[in-house]
Amino acid sequence: MEYTASQIAAWLNGTVEGDPDVRLTGLSKIDAGTPGTLTFLANPKYTPYVYTTRATAIVVNRDFMPSQPLTATLLRVDDAYSAFAMLMARFQGEAQVPAGISGQASIAETATLGRDVTVGAFSVIGSGVVIADQVVIHPQVFIGENVQIGAGCVLYPGVKVYHNCEIGASCILHAGVVIGSDGFGFAPQSGSDYRKIPQLGNVILEDHVEIGSNTTVDRATLGSTILRKGVKLDNLIQVGHNVEIGENTVIAAQSGISGSTRIGKNCMIGGQVGIVGHLTIADDVKIGAGSGVEASITQAGAIYLGAPAIEIGKARRNFIHWRHLDEIVKKVYTLEKTLKQNHE
């Protein structure tokens, strides 16, 4: 790419402070900027690099006030982080699967493909599948019978979508994602045996859902496991059967959600969080990394930490006490010893 600062500012609804005609040929990190590149400042922690970076231009928030002279041109926008994310999406140069249908793909005669669909080599599309316009299916993807996939989706290599699942428009499934595998349902029998409970439901992903590599979303026992519009899941997450995740909720890597739990909209769940089954998590809740949630969280906007997870204020107070636990125990032993001596 090669664009002027003024061109990029126009895309971002921003303004230029400095040379509007400076030419930019790439993007860079602010602490590793090189001449001709555009970088950004969103985290105040990186403010010192504004004055030392070799990048030619920097995207900053409108209220940024430099405390030293600058050599770089500034592009002022409402939200530097979001603006730079837009630029990265626009300029991404990742290799794409060649357009069209590979002769090495297997597509059932009863499958229906929309306009401008791409299917990579060794992908398998089952009977009754309906794929909308401009879907990109990378090599070695499996799509089971009667699956529906909305317009503009991207399925990366190794994705598996089991039968009867539904994927909305503009979803992204990264490598190794499994949608619709059986939920973990087994009924104890006499002795130590278990009887498998058939998993007859499906998975529904609404529009604009993105799921990271090697994440699994189990099909429902009956009904549907549902990820609502705008949900974002990181890599290596387990979503159990009949779970429902509300709109625009984001979950970081290595978290696990047990069956039939309902998570509200706009929640933020950190990495390695475990949530037991049949719980309800209210809207706008935040759960810190490594937490274990054993009870429903009914207060919207609450923040929980710890294992077991508790409200953040109480968690912080407990942490302070825990840091002094050794001293407290020694004091208790000393008091016990003193009391014992006084009674002798």
Burial of 172 (0-12, 13-18, 19+ CB in 10 A): middle
Measured distance CA(56)–CA(5) in Å, rounded: 9
Domain check: are 165 and 250 in the same one? yes
- Residue of 163, 174, 241, 278 with catalytic role: 241
Say whether the peptide bond before residue 308 is cis (omega within 30 degrees of 0): yes
* Phi, psi angles (nearest 5°) of residue 316: -65, -40
Q: E strand or H helix at 14, and its extent?
A: none
User: Does the active-site annotation cover 324?
Assistant: no
Domain check: are 87 and 174 in the same one? no
Measured distance CA(280)–CA(296) in Å, rounded: 5
Domain check: are 164 and 297 in the same one? yes
Mode of pairing for the β-strands spanning 232-233 and 210-211? parallel
Measured distance CA(311)–CA(303) in Å, rounded: 6
8 Å CB contact between 155 and 136? yes
What the block records as the tokens of 148 is 């529906």
Question: What separation in angstroms does the CA of 43 have from each of 5, 57, 262?
Answer: 22, 17, 33
Nearest to 149 by CA among 166, 136, 127, 137: 166
Measured distance CA(163)–CA(268) in Å, rounded: 30
Domain check: are 180 and 296 in the same one? yes
Domain check: are 80 and 191 in the same one? no
Domain check: are 87 and 225 in the same one? no
What is the torsional sign of CA 46, 52, 53, 55? Answer: positive
Supply the Cα-derived Rg of the chain in whole angstroms.
26
Task: Report yes or no on 124 lying in a domain.
Answer: no
**Count: domains in the chain:** 2
Task: Report yes or no on 176 lying in a domain.
Answer: yes
Domain check: are 275 and 194 in the same one? yes
Domain range for 48 = 3-91
Task: Report yes or no on 335 lying in a domain.
Answer: no
* Phi, psi angles (nearest 5°) of residue 119: -130, 120
Task: Report yes or no on 147 lying in a domain.
Answer: no
Q: Any alpha helices (H) in 92-133, and if so which ranges? A: none
Q: E strand or H helix at 328, and its extent?
A: helix 325-342
Domain of residue 173, CATH code:
2.160.10.10
Q: What is the pLDDT along the chain (344 residues), one digit of tens a residue?
A: 689 999 999 999 999 999 999 999 989 999 999 999 999 999 999 999 999 999 999 999 999 999 999 999 999 999 999 999 888 877 765 446 778 999 999 999 999 999 999 999 999 999 999 999 999 999 999 999 999 999 999 999 999 999 999 999 999 999 999 999 999 999 998 878 999 999 999 999 999 999 999 999 999 999 999 999 999 999 999 999 999 999 999 999 999 999 999 999 999 999 999 999 999 999 999 999 999 999 999 999 999 999 999 898 888 888 787 788 888 888 888 888 888 887 76
Per-residue pLDDT at 94? 47
Domain check: are 63 and 164 in the same one? no
Task: Report yes or no on 275 lying in a domain.
Answer: yes
What angle separates helix 312-323 from helix 325-342, to the nearest 10 degrees?
A: 60
Q: E strand or H helix at 7, and its extent?
A: helix 5-11
Per-residue pLDDT at 199? 96
8 Å CB contact between 211 and 177? yes
Task: Report yes or no on 115 lying in a domain.
Answer: no
Domain check: are 167 and 302 in the same one? yes
Which of 66, 91, 116 is at the close of a domain? 91
SS3 content of the chain, % helix, strand, coil (to 5): 15, 30, 55
Which of 54, 72, 91 is at the close of a domain? 91
Task: Report yes or no on 170 lying in a domain.
Answer: yes
Task: Report yes or no on 327 lying in a domain.
Answer: no
Domain check: are 298 and 186 in the same one? yes
Domain check: are 86 and 182 in the same one? no
Domain of residue 41, CATH code:
3.40.1390.10
What the block records as the tokens of 76 is 């002022």
Which of 38, 56, 91 is at the close of a domain? 91
At which residue do the structure tokens 């009870």 appear? 295
Per-residue pLDDT at 96? 66
